[in-house]
Homo-oligomer: A and B are copies of this chain.
Amino acid sequence: MRKKKPAGADAKLSRAAAQRLSQYLRCLAVVGPTASSADLARSVGVSDAQVRRDLGALGHLGQRGVGYDVTALAAALRKTLGIDRPWRAVLAGVGNLARALLRYRGFRQHGFEIVGLFDADPAKIGTTVDGLTVEPIGRLAARATDLRVELGVITVPADAAQEVADQFSAAGIVGILNFAPVLLRTPAGVVAVTVDLTVQFEQLAFLVTRREPTAPELRPSARGGLEGRRSR
């Protein structure tokens, strides 16, 4: 009989579970000092039992009638997700999406910092965007060490994405956030997450078609907490 597992001990945590943990963390930012499993369940759109299972696996069981301590739970979630430390990233492909990402303050607030910009277009190289000078993509391998980056963001067109992923991998980058609508092939030890915007739109079409009553954002929260998000 095992008792509490230490946070981060469950190497088999699925991606779906990790995504729920991110969402619990987002919810914790706007409630407090304690949160019930019902609060978390409602905002993420899963069952109370699912929340208790997910958080029980981190060794956080909450207290009946009191709920989870928000500060302690947020720390455990950050540790499990690997975001209890900062991450440095470079970005390749300085177009509109890149500009939008650079101006999205949420990244830096959550410990992700874009510290280098690369592009293949001579017209963009040497220009400055949000305080960073765009460098030629060919210099990436040489610069990655100086920049001490582990992550790379791909915002180039689809037909250039695999080549950039290869350059990232060769430069020692171990994680790629890919916004190009292609599935990337990466060598062992390099992981890629593709953000496929079409999938998001399809999810919306699905929910509108079915009008799922359990969609988390369908119902106004019974608590006042979420209102606070408007000011973020």
Contacts and interface: CB of A to CB of B under 8 A. Distances in A.
A192 B206 contact: no
B197 A193 contact: no
B199 A197 contact: no
Given A112-B201, A204-B193, A230 B107 contact: no
A209 B82 contact: yes
Interface string A95-115: 111011101101100101000
Interface in A173-196: 174-177, 181-186, 188-196
A2 interface: no
A210 interface: yes
Interface in A1-42: 11, 13, 15-16, 18-19, 22-23, 25-27
A168 B3 CA distance: 49
Contacts of A226: 183, 185
Task: Tell me how many chains of this kind the complex includes.
Answer: 2
A217 interface: yes
A52 to B, nearest CB: 18
A184 B217 contact: yes
A18 B15 CA distance: 16
A42 to B, nearest CB: 10
Contacts of A112: 198, 201, 205
Q: How large is the interface on A (under 10, 10 to 19, 20 to 34, 35 or more residues)?
A: 35 or more
Contacts of A205: 81-83, 87, 112, 151, 175
Contacts of A16: 16
A158 to B, nearest CB: 5
A207 interface: yes
A191 B177 contact: no
Please list the 6 inter-chain residue pairs (A to B) with the smallest Cβ-Cβ separation, ordered nearest first: A82-B209, A97-B100, A175-B208, A96-B100, A192-B217, A96-B99
Given A82-B210, A151-B204, A177-B201, 12 more contacts: A19-B203, A82-B208, A96-B96, A112-B201, A150-B208, A151-B205, A158-B230, A158-B232, A183-B226, A185-B219, A185-B226, A191-B218
5 contacts: A26-B199, A106-B181, A158-B232, A176-B204, A195-B195
